[in-house]
Amino acid sequence: MGRALALSVASVVWALASAACAASAEEQTLLKFFEAARTLDSTIIEKYATVGFNPRTEGIVQTFTVTEVGAERQGRKDVTIDVVVREPAGATARRTLVVTFQKGLPARAGQPSHDRWIITSLRRTPASRTSREGSSARPS
């Protein structure tokens, strides 16, 4: 059983590392962030984000795809990603997250500011952007 788990972890790490070679800067940052979040490695998370993603409460991101990179405005940009998450109860779910990146923030208090992107917010998008009432025809 232990060997199967080790092989599974090794294959995930290999897949993530392979993806990082051809990944955009946003994808590379997200990849490192979600890898560190998986193990609750706060030292690594602090290098890439001011927020966390706790696997015990939010699950473990298995895969993600960047679907949209917003324009940079005042040193910030939103990146929309579709993720497959293994939830704490064991079920797999698809979610859409909007990740806000900010440029020039120190990774930790006391560190100098760098011209790199730091994740400052992760938020889930609503399941549906329109309400049932808004899309229903009015009675005649």
pLDDT in tens, the chain (140 residues): 556 555 555 555 555 555 555 678 899 999 999 999 999 999 999 999 999 999 999 999 999 999 999 999 999 999 999 999 999 999 999 999 999 999 876 555 555 556 789 999 999 988 634 333 334 444 44
CA-to-CA separations, 91 to 3, 62, 86, 123, in angstroms, rounded: 23, 12, 6, 20
DSSP class of 21? H
- The alpha carbon of residue 39 and the mean position of all alpha carbons in its chain are separated, in whole angstroms, by 14
The pair of three-digit structure tokens given for residue 28, joined into one six-digit string: 């590379």
- The alpha carbon of residue 99 and the mean position of all alpha carbons in its chain are separated, in whole angstroms, by 7
Q: What CATH code would you report for 2-129?
A: 3.10.450
* Model confidence pTM above 0.95: no
